[in-house]
A and B are shown apart, each in its own frame.
Chain A
Amino acid sequence: MLESTLTALQSLFTLSGFLFLWLGVIVGLIFGVMPGLGGTTAIALLMPITYSLEPNQAMLLMGGIMGSVSAGGSISAILINTPGTAPNAATCFDGYPLAKQGKGGLAIGAAAGASTIGGLIGIFTLIVVIPIMKSIVLLFGPPEYFMLAMMGLTAIAVSTGGQFLRGLIAGAIGLILSFVGYDAVGGTVRFTFGSDYLWDGVPLVPALTGLFALSEMIALSVSGGTIAEAGSTSKITSVWEGAWLAVKHWRTTLQGSIIGTIVGAIPGLGGTVAAFLSYTAAMQISKHPETFGTGNIEGVIGPEASNNAKDGGALIPTLSFGIPGSAEMAVFLGVLVLHGVDPGPMLLIHNQGVIFALILSLVASTLLSNIVVLGIAQPLALITKLDVHILVPVVVTAALAGVYALREAAGDVVTAVVFGMLGYVMIRFRFPRVTLVIALILGELAERSFHQSLNMADGDWTIFFTRTTSLVLFLLIIGAMLIPAVRGLRRTPPQEASQ
């Protein structure tokens, strides 16, 4: 084991190794910043380049990408309220208000700090968990997945705070959309208007890009002006000040990291769900929960820590059994196989060196990408002073080019625009978009696991309660739903609030 680590280290400290790492970091940052593109696209794009590389070098490249994408995404989330990748959506809630107050640099700094710590915790957890990885993965079967999906759905519903009702409605719409497509459990194609395009369901990345990025552009198009309001300029030091805040609020950072690692480790849940859960968790342990949404830095720290921790988590099922923990991991597995590394239970036994190279690369990339972000945050924050009418067309065209690049399906571009307009309507009518997205992601998993569980148990629904892990998860759900109710009882009833 030691020699594998040494070989991995050696490959890192060669010139070419270093260059590949940097290439990955830069590409990851760029893809992260641009709405519509993300880690999956970046890995798929660079895959051909890896053919002629040695496995360790390929890992340096891939790790470089994986560790930096979310750092890039936080920049757009904070500065223009447009998540660069889906998991950055939660960062918008408090990041953007900070940008509007002229504190964009501070927010980016905090994001970078939290990302670094979160990423390192995620990787550390992965390493620690390696010996028992397989047993952990074996604990989660269809009934457990169903419980987890329900946990995600109810947690979102319960913690949207006000507009609880509209949050639920948006979630219901998200569920409706999630049923579109081919259902592999029953073997039927549903709600596709007979066309092939929707066969695999509503395409997620175009929908998200439209829902968050394009709708925001439409909103800015309507309001005009510049993003940053008052004439306050943030000092150069504020970026590093922000990074320090991530350390100061260590509880939030730690919590976000843990949530990110765990949720990221569960195939099907993913980074977006983790980020939002982390945001609501941050709100719950905060001393000033009512300030969330107006520019509370903890609302940036929590989700951003989770965003990088999830990469470590997603590697757990990927490395232990070859089950991709996320879409990025699915493409990454392809890269592994290309280099003679077979994903499966023998991976760690046969290919330790390669895996250590990857882990090393992730660590290095987490550090490097966030340092880069800290370096360019200040100049980048000037975007918020830019007239919105210059920003809007550039972002729209770049985002749609990215969406098209995904699958070369013109339909995806149309989907993005349709969701963009839907998103704008939701903004105007006060329907939360995030609950729609979470439901869209989790709906398919929930229904499929439900049916799978019943099939497994020959129709006996008590399976959800006779399996230990499933039962534990169920109790957690009930507990989570009761917390706000208990809190509500403790507080004095609110005055008849004005509309």
Chain B
Amino acid sequence: MLRTACAIAMGITAALAGPAMGAGYPEKNIQFIIPFGPGGGFDRTVRILAPAMEKTLPNKVQVLPTNVAGAGGAKGTAQTYRAPPDGYTIAIINMPGAAIPGLGGEDPGYDMAKFSWIARLATEEYMIAVPAKSSIHTIEDMQKLGRPVKVPSTDFGSTAYAASEIFSKELKFPVQHLTGYKGTNDYIVGVVRGDGDAAVAPVSTLQQFIQSGDMRGIFTTEEKSSIPGVKTIAELGHAGLTGLGVERFVVGPPGLSPQIIKTLSDSIEKAMADPDVKKHAEKEGFAFQPSSKAKEGADRGLALYSKYKEALVKNESAK
């Protein structure tokens, strides 16, 4: 309610003060699209960031988090892609999630490479873990299992699916995907239960299951392992896979002017210093990169996943 009252007050002030402030972006409210439903990781991130951005933007406008869920994230992403490049529509997207449909040859309604990259917000590395009482302890165990390693995941286009495919190809153990679980925790519990052999998920999520004693880690793609006793993939001899994980970018439609990009990027950078955001950032593993670096990061990620394009296309005949 308080927020509503403030919003109304600010709106009135802005309306009254508007013409007097002179030209300059931003002049009206900015819509910050979240391609998923409320309550998820992306949703939280944006809703923490948005109020902080309002304080750090040059003019007093609102940043409105807007959920546009559907088609696994493609709907909101496509909506952003199609929006006019005036700086009033931006979005948070997930790499490689958003890239995978395109790599597989479908048309999701947007071209990944053409987005205007504003900033990179967060990165979460991945880990493989097995149930605590599993007989698998190392990568060699997975190679010698004698049958494919069963890896549950939510869906064909999911990051966990893509990551496990890549692990499978690089580390040379066969993988059988069990898709259809409703969420990350769902399939992790599935592994604890014995539905599958191993779970591929962000380190921060699997960490709890290791702490509680339900699971044991095999390796992590972090640069420095944050789980005692679990080695990094580099230490195990496959440094090329370091950094494989989920990255969150803030993007705008193709053709956004460099000044607008810089304004937004700077605003986000300053917003990072906000105490609320900082608290959240530590927990979520923010690794902010401004627009200049963001595009590099995006390209690198795209290149890595393109390398394994064939693996990511779901194979009808293989079923």
Contacts of B1 in A (CB 8 A): 49
Nearest CB in chain B to that of A407: its residue: B69
Interface set, chain A 451-487, CB cutoff 8 A to B: 451-452, 455-456
Provide the bound-state CA to CA distance between A165 and B199, in Å. 45
Contacts of B156 in A (CB 8 A): 184, 187
Contact with B along A186-212 (1 / 0, CB 8 A): 110000000010011000000000000
Contacts of B190 in A (CB 8 A): 141-142
The contact of B47 among A48, A138, A187, by CB within 8 Å, is A48
Contacts of B3 in A (CB 8 A): 48-49
Count B interface residues, CB 8 Å: 49
CB distance from B285 to the nearest CB of A (A): 13
Interface set, chain B 188-208, CB cutoff 8 A to A: 189-190, 192-196, 205, 208
Contacts of B214 in A (CB 8 A): 134, 345
CB distance from B229 to the nearest CB of A (A): 18
Contacts of A346 in B (CB 8 A): 208, 211-212
Cβ contact within 8 Å between A137 and B189:
yes
Interface set, chain B 127-167, CB cutoff 8 A to A: 150, 154-156
CB distance from A125 to the nearest CB of B (A): 21
Provide the bound-state CA to CA distance between A116 and B54, in Å. 44
A313 interface residue per 8 A CB criterion: no
Provide the bound-state CA to CA distance between A196 and B101, in Å. 15
Contact with A along B8-42 (1 / 0, CB 8 A): 00000000000000000000000000000011110
Contact with B along A104-145 (1 / 0, CB 8 A): 000000000000000000000000000000100110011000
Contacts of A187 in B (CB 8 A): 155-156, 179, 314
CB distance from A267 to the nearest CB of B (A): 7
Contacts of A331 in B (CB 8 A): 38-39
B209 interface residue per 8 A CB criterion: yes
Cβ contact within 8 Å between A267 and B195:
no
Provide the bound-state CA to CA distance between A452 and B196, in Å. 11
Cβ contact within 8 Å between B70 and A196:
yes
Provide the bound-state CA to CA distance between A438 and B159, in Å. 33
The contact of A334 among B44, B155, B208, B283, by CB within 8 Å, is B44
A342 interface residue per 8 A CB criterion: yes
CB distance from B208 to the nearest CB of A (A): 4
The contact of A199 among B71, B193, B212, B279, by CB within 8 Å, is B71
A349 interface residue per 8 A CB criterion: yes
Contacts of B319 in A (CB 8 A): 186
Cβ contact within 8 Å between B208 and A344:
yes
Cβ contact within 8 Å between A141 and B38:
no
Nearest CB in chain A to that of B39: its residue: A334
Cβ contact within 8 Å between A343 and B39:
no
**Which stretch, A86-94, A320-328, A357-365, touches the partner chain B?**
A320-328
Nearest CB in chain A to that of B109: its residue: A196
Provide the bound-state CA to CA distance between A230 and B44, in Å. 54
B180 interface residue per 8 A CB criterion: yes
Q: Which of B179, B183, B283, B319 gathers the greatest number of chain A CB atoms within 10 Å? A: B179
A44 interface residue per 8 A CB criterion: yes
Provide the bound-state CA to CA distance between A220 and B253, in Å. 49
CB distance from A332 to the nearest CB of B (A): 8
Cβ contact within 8 Å between B189 and A138:
yes
A330 interface residue per 8 A CB criterion: yes
Contacts of A456 in B (CB 8 A): 150, 178, 195-196
Cβ contact within 8 Å between A323 and B185:
yes
Contact with A along B42-62 (1 / 0, CB 8 A): 011001100100000000000
Q: Which of A184, A324, A337 gathers the greatest number of chain B CB atoms within 10 Å? A: A184
Cβ contact within 8 Å between A321 and B185:
yes
CB distance from A119 to the nearest CB of B (A): 23
Contacts of A268 in B (CB 8 A): 182
CB distance from A352 to the nearest CB of B (A): 15
Contacts of A200 in B (CB 8 A): 69-71
B75 interface residue per 8 A CB criterion: yes
Contacts of B38 in A (CB 8 A): 44, 47, 331, 334
Provide the bound-state CA to CA distance between A466 and B209, in Å. 28
A185 interface residue per 8 A CB criterion: yes
The contact of B39 among A48, A186, A321, A335, by CB within 8 Å, is A335
Provide the bound-state CA to CA distance between A324 and B194, in Å. 20
Cβ contact within 8 Å between A141 and B193:
yes
Contacts of B195 in A (CB 8 A): 141-142, 452, 456
CB distance from A328 to the nearest CB of B (A): 10
B72 interface residue per 8 A CB criterion: yes
Contacts of A330 in B (CB 8 A): 39
B186 interface residue per 8 A CB criterion: yes
Q: Which of A48, A321, A345 gathers the greatest number of chain B CB atoms within 10 Å? A: A345
Contact with B along A30-45 (1 / 0, CB 8 A): 0000000000000010
Nearest CB in chain B to that of A44: its residue: B38
Cβ contact within 8 Å between A184 and B155:
yes
Interface set, chain B 243-298, CB cutoff 8 A to A: 279, 283
A338 interface residue per 8 A CB criterion: yes
Provide the bound-state CA to CA distance between A49 and B47, in Å. 11
CB distance from B309 to the nearest CB of A (A): 16
Which 7 A-B residue pairs are closest in the complex by CB-CB distance?
A334-B39, A345-B212, A185-B180, A344-B208, A322-B185, A187-B156, A184-B155
A-B contact pairs, 8 of them (CB 8 A): A51-B51, A138-B189, A184-B180, A337-B41, A337-B44, A338-B47, A340-B283, A452-B180
Interface residues, chain B, with chain A CB atoms under 8 Å away: 1-3, 38-41, 43-44, 47-48, 51, 67, 69-72, 74-75, 150, 154-156, 176, 178-183, 185-186, 189-190, 192-196, 205, 208-209, 211-212, 214, 279, 283, 314, 319
Interface residues, chain A, with chain B CB atoms under 8 Å away: 44, 47-49, 51, 134, 137-138, 141-142, 182, 184-187, 196, 199-200, 267-268, 321-324, 330-335, 337-338, 340, 342-346, 349, 407, 448, 451-452, 455-456
